[in-house]
Each structure stands twice: as C-alpha cells, then as structure tokens.
Amino acid sequence: MKPNYQYEKRQRELEKKKKKAEKEQKKASTSEPPSAPGTVETVVPPGKAQN
C-alpha cells in the first residue's frame, strides 16, 4: 500500500497551527493585566469575528 503523503502533510500543518495558536494564547494571557474580580469576560475563539 502506498503512503498518503497529503494526509501526513495535513496532519503536520494542523499540529503546527495548533501549537502556534496555543503559543499566541499563552502570550496574550500573560501580557494582559488580570481583570477585576466580579467581571465577566467573553471568550471569542480565534478566527471568529465579533459583530
């Protein structure tokens, strides 16, 4: 059976994307000052635009 190179490449790309997103999220959470107690924050997943 011949290997499916496109599948393997896609898996590597997805893994890179996931690691990059985690890194950006970690960087954003450490650079932002902590919110005041009692406030509610809305979390918007990356790639989703707020309307």
Mean pLDDT in order along the chain per 10 residues (51 residues): 92 98 91 60 64 57
Give the pLDDT of residue 17. 98
- The model's pTM is 0.50
Give the pLDDT of residue 36. 56
Give the pLDDT of residue 40. 62
Residue 45 burial class via C-beta count within 10 angstroms: exposed 0-12, middle 13-18, buried 19 and up: exposed
Locate all alpha helices (DSSP H) within 1-51, ordered by sequence: 5-31
Q: How many CB atoms lie within 10 A of CB 21?
A: 13
Give the pLDDT of residue 14. 98
Nearest-Å Rg of the Cα atoms of the chain is 17
The Cα 30–Cα 44 span in angstroms is 17
Give the pLDDT of residue 2. 86
